[in-house]
Amino acid sequence: MPVRIVQSKQNARLKELRRAAQHSSAAEGAPVAIEGLKMLGEAHTAGLRIQCVFVAQEAEHLLDKLPLKPETQVLLVPGDVLCSALATETPQPVAALVEPPVWSWENLLGPARGPDPLLVILAGLQDPGNLGTILRSSEAFGARGVVSLPGTVYAWNQKSIRASAGSVFRVPLLRATFHDCVARLRQARIRILASTAREAGLATDMVLTGPLALLIGNEGSGVPAEAAAEADGAITIPCPGAVESLNAAVATSVLLYEASRQRSAATGSCAKQDGVGR
């Protein structure tokens, strides 16, 4: 593992880290910035290629804990220089440039993944923390993947990465236009349910088994009217308390849980019936 000492903020790799950490979007496949030992470990476990690691000089001892391949480039830089390249308020002493996973519609809709996909479609979600939490919940409750429509926050935002707790490295995430997304879902015969705060079927009363996509809108204005018009129905969460609506990430997590619960119950029922039949 070659280690090189760098002092200047003008180093090409540091400039690349700065761009990746501070920009709100990037070209497909461009390297992304991550911070901290935990995220670096998650990226390594997920099999991502780690191009370059940056370690603050006062934290050299952390090099012994880094799960790196021998060919990975490591730059040892002054702490203030590393901080200047990162966008977070309290930067960590370790950062890296990694190549993000490349996903396709085959990852979401391919037959090898099973017959009943559960997807999340994000239409104009703006809060990066919400996006990261939705990715984490998607992994926790067995969703096959997430589709990000135009207007949705960049998934490799530093807040999104932290909120996902590593799920951003593992959950298939595609960026697509609305019309392309709908066309592919229709072709795959996937039912689309738009999440709304009112005037919709209750999640606890609706059947959420089978191929299903949950359409989640903007935190303030909800699902755009054009998108809602293409949905097969609307779904809401019963809230007996005096609350108008739930946070977008919380609502998505609750819907994913209910879908997961119903699917597990249906699978269990089938298994029992098969056993009785024998």
pLDDT at 123 over 60: yes
Percentage of the chain surpassing pLDDT 70?
95
- Could you tell me which residues come within 8 angstroms of residue 179 by beta carbon, excluding any fewer than 6 positions away? none
Whole-number pLDDT of residue 113: 76
Bridge partner list, 145: 119
CATH no. of 105-272: 3.40.1280.10
Looking at residue 272, its pLDDT comes to 39
- CA 175 to chain CA mean position, Å: 11
| pLDDT for the residue numbered 276 | 35
pLDDT category of residue 277 using cuts at 50, 70 and 90: very low
3-state secondary structure 208-259: CCCCEEEEECECCCECCHHHHHHCCEEEECCCCCCCCCCCHHHHHHHHHHHH
Flag whether pLDDT at 231 surpasses 60.
yes
Average pLDDT, the chain: 90
Q: Give the mean model confidence (pLDDT) for residues 84-93.
A: 87
Top pLDDT among 199 and 270 is at 199
User: Which pLDDT belongs to residue 87?
Assistant: 77
Task: Tokens 């997304």: give the residue.
Answer: 181
Instruction: Give rounded-to-5 percent helix, strand, coil for the chain.
Output: 40, 20, 40
Instruction: Give the residue with greater pLDDT, 61 vs 232.
Output: 232
What average pLDDT score do residues 262-273 get?
Answer: 69
Whether the domain at 3-98 and the domain at 105-272 fall into the same CATH topology: no
Pairing of strands 3-5, 32-35: unpaired
Q: Closest by alpha carbon to 193, among 179, 211, 177?
A: 211
- Mean pLDDT, to the nearest integer, of 78-95? 90
Percent of the chain with pLDDT over 90: 74
Output the pLDDT for position 273: 38
What's the mean pLDDT in 224-230?
A: 94
User: Is the distance from CB of 31 to CB of 98 less than 8 angstroms?
Assistant: yes
Reduced to 3 states (helix: H, G, I; strand: E, B; else coil), residue 92 is coil
Return the minimum-mean-pLDDT range out of 61-75, 87-101, 112-126, 255-269. 61-75
Domain spans, the chain = 3-98, 105-272
Return phi, psi of residue 249, to 5°.
-70, -40
Q: Which of the two residues, 9 and 246, has the higher pLDDT score?
A: 9
pLDDT at 1: 65
pLDDT band (50, 70, 90) for residue 270 = very low
Question: Which pTM value belongs to this model?
Answer: 0.90
β pairing state of 73-77 and 50-56: parallel
Q: Which CATH architecture has domain 3-98?
A: 2-Layer Sandwich (3.30)
pLDDT tens per residue across span 172-224: 999 999 999 999 999 999 999 999 987 899 999 999 999 999 999 998 889 99
